Structure 1
């Protein structure tokens, strides 16, 4: 990828963070106000920590995108409460995955019914994101995930792709969804410069039950981070450059999974931008 293309992607980033005790201070200390911050939601802790952190970061001047998993919503009344709370906090962008809660907290098992209900409520958010899966979902066939994006396209305004470590797979997936007529802007999901030891420590701090789920569902992530030479996001970006910057790809920017290594992620981004400028 040429320097201008990579610099453009790095200039339009979203940082995904977990709503832990120190997250707010880390964001304030290291993240510029022009970087979008997305806040995950936990099937164990529920929506409350996500909504609370999103509201606080919004008051600090950040554009915040809370994750609102469908399977954490207790029903339409609960959805209305969440909408009212976020709108009052000045939030106009939400990310709506299906979520991992099993069993679900209410009647929603996927994102599409929630998207439809938001439409019935007058489309209260200017931007609504949905999930894409370049690498196979552990429980859902690839054809189903691509079809789901087609079904959601009239209700959502953008797609966020889940983590992908293979440039070829990412490029083929982008081409595939575009051939299917899914034209929503895409934020390509990429892991930041994650240190394996810190990632393991972070998973442990999440909580015994949830960290076990985290490690069980994503063992390949740890193998990638522990591979000879380690993981370097700039290598992935360089290899995926043509796929990410092609006009037909419709990539609006990068969605960086920080795993709460927020200072390290921003330092890496700034250093890379400086090298590109130099």
Structure 2
């Protein structure tokens, strides 16, 4: 959710299980008050806030510490997501999320676990070998500092690159929980626009496999096929380790929460 999504959180609250992790983004057009208020709303609703720390949007270490201090005051620092962020040029001393992690200030404000980004289909602006180097460095630094690590990935439409990437992560000796980004039900045009923006594979074969057609863009699509196939593949490969989902609520928090609730009921029936 974003800082503007607090009303949507309240609307979806009864459809989300207590204790669910809810990420709070760090957008350039939102300020400190909005970010902290959103994290506080998540906490007060009975969920676990995971505020984002956008490295290249931070102008100084003082700004990072002010943000962490305010989050700690509302009980929202145990879990954070450290990410590089969109600006091509850093606004301060942090060029990457690794710079934030190795700054050594997170534990001072009660951080116990840090989510870091994973890219099963690569990144449009970062070479693959650099992505792997950064992932390994971040996982090692968190372990050295005694902090828990979670790898939270970009969203995907195709299980093939996802499962291949999971195997590659484990072969590198990284045993952190992996949360696979999964788009909640949303309009097809909206999903494809996000895919293009983030460099996600969305050719005709992939989207047909996922469950919608490029010739009919007016409807909505959900991740039923993707999640079912991913679950089956992971069950057949014990070496994949601890893998969960992270839902991207492109179609709204309530629609995503209701899809997850209904899917659980269907598969357990």
Question: Cα deviation per residue 1:181-237 (whole Å; 9 max; x = unaligned)?
Answer: 22211111111112236769xx9xxxxxxxxxx686247588746636864312112
In 2, Cα distance between equivalents of 1:105 and 1:46: 15
Say whether 1:87 aligns with 2:72: yes
How big is the shift at 1:45? Answer: 2.9
Root mean square deviation, CA, Å: 2.7
Paired residue for 1:211? none
Quick one: higher RCO (CA 8 Å, sep 6+), 1 or 2? 1
Find out whether 1:97 has 2:83 as its counterpart: yes
Cross-structure match for 2:214: 227
Alignment match of 1:181 (pick from 164, 168, 173)? 173
SS for the counterpart of 1:187 is strand
Secondary structure of residue in 2 paired with 1:68:
strand
Structure 2 unmatched runs, 5+: 143-147
Question: Are the counterparts in 2 of residues 47 and 72 from structure 1 also a CA contact under 8 Å?
Answer: no
- The verdict on how the C-alpha distance between 1:104 and 1:27 changes in structure 2, with shifts beyond 3 A counting, is farther
Assess if the C-alpha contact under 8 Å between 1:71 and 1:100 holds in 2.
yes
Check conservation: 1:196, 1:222, Cα contact below 8 A. no
| TM-score after normalising by structure 1 | 0.79
Aligned pairs (5 A) from 1:234-249? 234-245=224-235, 246-249=237-240
Q: Which residue of 2 aligns with 1:20?
A: 4
Q: Distance in 1 between matches of 2:240 and 2:54?
A: 27
The structure-2 alpha-carbon separation of the partners of 1:24 and 1:234, relative to structure 1 and needing over 3 Å to count, comes to closer
Does structure 2 conserve the Cα–Cα contact (< 8 Å) formed by 1:59 and 1:89? no
Equivalent residue number for residue 14 of structure 1: none
Cα deviation code 1:95-122 (max 9, x no counterpart): 0111112332211110111001235754
Question: Paired residues, what number?
Answer: 250
2: distance between equivalents of 1:57 and 1:134? 29
Q: Distance in 2 between matches of 1:219 and 1:189?
A: 14
Q: How is 1:25-36 mapped onto 2 (pairs within 5 angstroms)? A: 25-36=10-21
| Aligned pairs for 1:202-213 within 5 A | none
SS of the equivalent of 1:138 reads: coil
Q: Any conservation in 1 of the 2:58–2:92 contact (CA below 8 Å)?
A: yes
User: Which ranges in structure 1 are unaligned for 5 or more consecutive residues?
Assistant: 1-16, 204-213
| Structure 2 match to 1:254 | 245
Summarize the Cα distance change of 1:58–1:167 in structure 2 as closer, same or farther, 3 Å threshold: same
Separation in 1, partners of 2:33, 2:118: 25
How far 1:59 moved relative to its partner?
Answer: 2.4
Q: 1:61 to 1:170 in 2, by over 3 A?
A: same
Tell me the distance in 2 between the aligned counterparts of 1:120 and 1:83: 8
Please give the TM-score of this superposition, normalised by the length of structure 2.
Answer: 0.82
Asked if 2 retains the 8 angstrom alpha-carbon contact of 1:43 and 1:99, the reply is no
